[in-house]
Structure formats: structure tokens, C-alpha cells
Structure 1
């Protein structure tokens, strides 16, 4: 998924993209609080509120979520 995310990051430069290393010590509780149980999981936020989520490596859904967020910005 990294190449896809990289491409979309260039395509939508106003949307910040962050990667979280789920293997970091002490992160398990936070992931649970965010209801992240599968990898990859993508969360999209607009004005501080979660606007959508994509679970799994579904490129079409990811592209649609990025486009939707881009249109909202």
C-alpha cells in the first residue's frame, strides 16, 4: 500500500498523511481506543472529526475517501 499512499499524497498535497508503526511499545491501548483491529486501517479526519475509515487494502475505497476529503477541504 505504501506506493499507493505515496502517489495519493502527491496528488492531494493539502491532505497531511501520517503513518503509525503499530508495533511501537505502548500503542496497543490507543489502537484499541481507536477501534483499529485490522491492518491496514486508514482513518480520515476533517476539522478534527473522523470523517471516514477504510479497513483493508482496498485501493478504490482509499481513492474515494481521499477524493471526498479533498473536496471537503
Structure 2
């Protein structure tokens, strides 16, 4: 059993079926949580806005460079 860090709902998690870094979803509030500890299971809220904000190298073949 783990607790949602957003709404504090109990989340049924089998400690033998999860690994550190696994993502779960709270069935009560829909928050995306990541397993940050295993004994006891600790869940941390994932900042959904920052998940897609990965710095990627600039594409050298961009449309702006074509003549």
C-alpha cells in the first residue's frame, strides 16, 4: 500500500511488482506518480509539464537552411 502525494488516497501497490522509477497513476485524482522508494513504497508526484521539456540538440537539417 502506498499513499498518493497529491490527494493522499491509498494506492494498492504490490511491492514485488514495482521498481524504483516506475510510473503509476492515482485512480482517485489521476495524478502521475513515480516510485522513489521501495521499503516502504514512496510515491512522488511527477510534474507533467516538465516531462516533455527535454533539451534536444538543434536539427542541423531544418527547413530554414534549405534554398
TM-score, normalised on structure 2? 0.27
The answer to which structure has the higher strand fraction is 2
- Larger Rg, first or second structure (1 or 2): 2
The answer to which structure has the higher helix fraction is 1
TM-score, normalised on structure 1? 0.25
